[in-house]
Structure 1
Amino acid sequence: MTNTSQTPKEQLLDAALMHVAFDGWSEATFKAAVSDTGMDPTVARAVCPRGAVDLAVAYHKRGDQQMIDRMKAENMTEMKFSAKVAAMVRFRLEAATDKEAVRRGTTLFALPQYAPEGAKLVWGTADAIWAALGDTSEDVNWYTKRATLSAVYSSTVLFWLGDTSEGHAETWAFLDRRIENVMQIEKVKAQVNSSPTLSMLMAGPNWLLSHVKAPSRLNRSDLPGSWGSPRP
């Protein structure tokens, strides 16, 4: 029975998940979802112009929202920051109760025509995590944090897809190692900045990067970054 409190796209997504394991995020799955919901095909195509591809995107974004909802329900105040990041990635993976749907999505977004969309979704997940944890960076660090976490998240998803250990224990150990690697990079950056010799060598690159601004500082929203004119 269709849940009338849901949007048409949500109704289609729930119906599609019953077919994804067999047909992937395909046109066959989309048509089956339309049939199962009894939705007018014209309405269905209006909310999902690309068919099942749009449903796969909606499925990923639903997982991001579930991750945020779980974070709000958890007490993370006593956790170290690195542990919070790891917990958020874990929340995100645990939100994906249908591993086959994720596997099929990974296959879909590996296709050349959809790879940019897949990269955008992973970046969006990383951005959601940093935003939820209170990131206030407005310079190049806004980009490096999200790029690094995107790599951590992507590699962890691939490991998780093949993990058959009890409670995905091996995945969480893998994730902890990846987070530790990131923390080591941050330690090296701090050592460079505190070293009189190395900090002098990095003065030029740091000056250059200091003019890169986060998207929130843009006058136009269709560009990924901005350049601030150097002060005289």
Structure 2
Amino acid sequence: MIVAPLKLGFLASGNGSSARAIVNAARDGRLAAEPRLMVSNIKAAPALEFARSAGFPALCIPTQADAEAADARLAREMTAHGVELIVLSGYLRRLGPQVLSRYAGRILNIHPGPLPAFGGHGMYGRRVHEAVLAAGVAQSGIVIHLVDEEYDRGPEIAARPVPVEAGDTPESLEARVTAAEPAFYVETLQRIAEGQIALGSHGNFR
């Protein structure tokens, strides 16, 4: 089966661990995708240097000084680089209306816990794992969802359970979830590329 590669743009505020795994999978032929652009709101983000070393464009677009201008530039740059699908990889800023409108149904985020119970504003990183353990649930998970104007409220695309084990601490649960995220992102994107997951019901992509 011939699969048209996904033309991907990435947003990362730090290392962009999942973005790295996705790019490497594309380079290795395990994922039908073309990395087109890496953007960070942090000038020193290691994700930017990774993208440059991998041979595709990387930009810093700060958001604090003028969020509206940053939103406009981000939408413009993603379009100019031929990006079809935006992948968030630890991007810790809310997206603006221009990006959300232009890429409606075509922005993906990965969340390290079940949604909507363990999502929302301020729920990221270890805070999610602390909340999962405090709730006493038997199972955490990884959720890939579409991004809209509300934190962690966009339609769910794929989910994978991660059991809570006896004696788990926030650190140990975080380690297991974090270790599983990159491969799950790659697998989900390949399913999108192959048409097994259709984003068309949520947006105007495939």
Classify the TM-score, shorter chain.
under 0.3
TM-score, normalising length: structure 1: 0.25
Instruction: Select the structure of larger CA radius of gyration.
Output: 1
Point out which structure has higher relative CO (alpha carbons under 8 A, 6+ apart).
2
TM-score, normalising length: structure 2: 0.27
Determine which structure has the larger helix proportion and give its number.
1
Determine which structure has the larger strand proportion and give its number.
2
